[in-house]
Chain A
Amino acid sequence: DAGVIQSPRHEVTEMGQEVTLRCKPISGHDYLFWYRQTMMRGLELLIYFNNNVPIDDSGMPEDRFSAKMPNASFSTLKIQPSEPRDSAVYFCASSLYEGGSYEQYFGPGTRLTVT
């Protein structure tokens, strides 16, 4: 399996622009997670889906952030409009219940820089 695939790997944009991050989870996994990682705040869970349905979006910072999962093999995280404080590495992860626990598999991340 190719693992979790994220695109783009790097994104540089200007404040006010729309940014769309993409994720393809591992086939057969029923959970998908979006995280943000910064030096100051560590790894933060933004939102997660189960069987394509959003379960908990309490970590989404504000209305500028939205996420969708139209099918089992694709998800997007959109920021509109982007701000410099959104600069971070965004990770997508998928998981499967195995051996009594959920083991998450992370993608390589998208490094977002908003100038």
Chain B
Amino acid sequence: TQLLEQSPQFLSIQEGENLTVYCNSSSVFSSLQWYRQEPGEGPVLLVTVVTGGEVKKLKRLTFQFGDARKDSSLHITAAQTGDTGLYLCAEHGSGNTGKLIFGQGTTLQVKP
């Protein structure tokens, strides 16, 4: 079973700072998704990356897929308190079954 490792586990920063969180695997990803979960809510899909080396931007969020498709990063520029939440990466299990394998997540707290 492929394991996804996310780092750091916890991150507490001040509003306005930049940050990067990581998602790594020992195996090649077929595709990778990033979700954000706010307190008391279910995870919400932010982005899907498919091609090695791909970079996608969503406002202040920049997602990068490693060239070898074994790692991904999420960079947030000028963090805001609304960015607070749990960031999860997820990868499809083998066999294109629709099943996702989730990492343990990075809990981000942005303080005013």
Contacts and interface: CB of A to CB of B under 8 A. Distances in A.
12 contacts: A30-B98, A43-B43, A45-B100, A48-B99, A55-B99, A91-B42, A91-B43, A101-B30, A101-B31, A101-B50, A102-B98, A108-B40
B46 to A, nearest CB: 10
B42 A102 contact: no
Q: Which of A97, A100, A102, A105 has the most CB of B within 10 A?
A: A102
A106 B46 CA distance: 13
Interface of A: 4, 30-31, 33, 42-43, 45, 48, 50, 55-56, 91, 93, 95, 97, 99-109
A108 B41 contact: yes
Interface of B: 30-31, 33, 40-45, 48, 50, 88, 90, 92, 97-100, 102-105
Nearest to B104: A42
B105 A42 contact: yes
A101 B88 contact: no
Nearest to A100: B50
A55 B97 contact: yes
A55 B103 CA distance: 22
Decide if the interface of chain A is mainly helix, strand, loop or mixed: strand
Given A42-B105, A100-B50, A101-B92, A95 B98 contact: yes
Given A56-B99, A95-B98, A102 B41 contact: no
A7 to B, nearest CB: 14
B31 A50 contact: no
A101 B50 CA distance: 8
A91 to B, nearest CB: 5
A48 B95 CA distance: 15
A99 B48 contact: yes
Given A31-B98, A56-B99, A93 B50 contact: no
B99 A101 contact: no
A102 B44 contact: no
Contact of B92 (A93, A102, A107, A109): A102
9 closest A-B pairs by CB: A106-B42, A31-B98, A102-B98, A101-B31, A42-B104, A43-B102, A106-B43, A101-B48, A91-B42
